[in-house]
Amino acid sequence: MANNTSAEYDSVINTCKSLFLKKTRDYGTAWRILRPASITDQIFIKAQRIRTLEEKKVSMVGDDTTGEYIGIVNYCVIAMMQLDSTEETPLELPVDAVETSFDTKVKETKDLMFAKNHDYGEAWRDMRISSLTDLILMKLLRVKQIEDNQGATLVSEGVTANYQDMLNYAVFALIKLSPPTP
């Protein structure tokens, strides 16, 4: 069976976006109050919980890893939107503006994924989900270090590229967790 990475990616993103927009309608853009380091820590909490569940195989609160990966996708989008915000950006944003920004960030990230997929030959398909989790955690530690260095890097990508990679790794995990389509 041939893989259709674009369709699988879009399906996962549609699920993530639907939840994100529902929460935006419920809560507004309360996430706008978060500083970049706080968003990074939220993603870290989700990735660390996934790793704990992968290792212990038992959830004490009944949630599975799918919801956590969805959260990682959405928090990565939030992080990228926040990085583009200025002091003049209002805390409360209209849902349609949030949706447009969400779509823009995801398109940029998907384009990056296809460029990398070209070079790597969809190697992620042969990876274990636990390795994707570990890569997300590694990227988080990199972002934390860049944040601790006030954004200064010598030769490394900036934080946006790391958020894009984490978003893509989470999408890959969600694709792998999804039942195969006939």
Domain boundaries, the chain: 5-177
- Report the distance separating Cα 132 and Cα 111, nearest Å: 19
Q: Do 68 and 18 contact (CB within 8 A), yes or no?
A: no
pTM: 0.92
Residue pLDDT, tens place only, 104-118: 999 999 999 998 887
Using the Cα atoms of residue 95, residue 178, residue 160 and residue 116 in order, give the sign of their dihedral: negative
Structure confidence by residue, pLDDT tens digits, 16-47 = 999 999 999 999 999 999 999 999 999 999 99
Cβ burial, residue 27 (10 Å; 0-12/13-18/19+): exposed
